[in-house]
Amino acid sequence: MSTSSPTGESPPRPIGATSATSTRLPGKGAGTTTLERFKAVVRRNPKIMQFYRGLDVPLARGRVSADPTRMDAIVAANRASLAGFGPWVDAEAMRQSRYSYGLSPDWAAAMAHAISATVTYSDLLCYAASCSSAKASYLEIGVSVGKNFWQLLNAVSGGALVGMDIEEINPPLRDKLALVAAEGAMVPRLDRFHYVSRSNDVCYCTGDVFDPGLWDRLRGRKFNLIFSDAFHDPAAVMYEWRRIVELDLLDRSGFTIIWDDLVSRPIRRVFNDIIADCTARYGLTPRQACLMHAAGWVGEFEPAHPIGIISTQGFVG
């Protein structure tokens, strides 16, 4: 998760967060304040934002297809796993981190809130995992403190889960895993763990998403579920996609990919380009791709995120 996009809007602050910065922009007057408040209201209306943002992704013509009863069960299980985790933020780890795990102080505080049954992108990922008859083979690009990764760890059994982030694995998450093998202090590196409760193998790749050496650690793997939530920049998202294609990381028998925070117009256009590439390269149709809005880590305490989904597993149609 990144707290800002260098190419477009900054993701909004958590609802109820305070700021030392006034809502009135310097030198702009009360009219600008009113306009900004109006924009904030509009951005919190998923239907309006769905229409507006959807104009940039004409090839995304599908919709998520989910059984309500099954989704309710997944939501309940995810809320239970979150409730049992404990504190997400380790103060010392935050001080030593490179980018504070992508969390501003407001976001770090919001992590502690219990969220409602509003469907989050984590719920959608867990539902997508349940759509596959194969064991989960999951790649998360941009793990941050691991709140989403933790839910996937508890939603699947006997799977192989890989996390990739520029930060070290968050200590509260690391402490819940059994270390199998560590590569020392080198970067990029891949450390291996096991999550005993669900018999899941875990690999954590530490390094820069733009470093080919980091991606080389994934060579030979096949993933049926991928979540992109690292650097929310058009060039970064396209670079990720090219590495996925070049290394042939997708499981051709069935896969789902979800991209978070398609906030800016340039990044949505990149998503549209990826859909076009998927249709040419893998024989997908536009009905197997969609742009939608879903809650993020902190649920109802922030506006819904614009996310992109491509799926060959019947999850989108």
The model's pLDDT over 247-294, given as tens digits with 9 standing for 90+, comes to: 999 999 999 999 999 999 999 999 999 999 999 999 999 999 999 999
Tokens encoding 271: 């998503």
The torsion angles phi and psi of 163, rounded to 5 degrees, stand at -110, 145
Secondary structure (3-state) at 96:
helix
* pLDDT at residue number 41: 75
The model's pLDDT over 229-244, given as tens digits with 9 standing for 90+, comes to: 999 999 999 999 999 9
CA dihedral for 18, 173, 144, 142, sign (positive or negative): negative
Count, residues in the chain: 317
More confident residue, 222 or 32: 222
pTM of the model: 0.88
Give the separation between CA 198 and CA 8, rounded to whole angstroms. Answer: 40
The domain locations on the chain are 23-55, 60-311
Q: Which of 208, 184, 204 is nearest to 192 (CA)?
A: 204
Give the separation between CA 173 and CA 181, rounded to whole angstroms. Answer: 16
Sort strands 189-195 and 256-259 into parallel, antiparallel or unpaired. Answer: unpaired
The model's pLDDT over 297-317, given as tens digits with 9 standing for 90+, comes to: 899 988 899 999 999 999 999
* pLDDT at residue number 21: 34
Tokens encoding 30: 């009360």
Mean pLDDT within 194-212: 97
Residue 32 binned pLDDT confidence (cut-offs 50, 70, 90): low
Superfamily of domain covering 60-311: Vaccinia Virus protein VP39 (3.40.50.150)
* pLDDT at residue number 24: 35
> Integer distance in angstroms from the first to the last C-alpha of the chain?
27
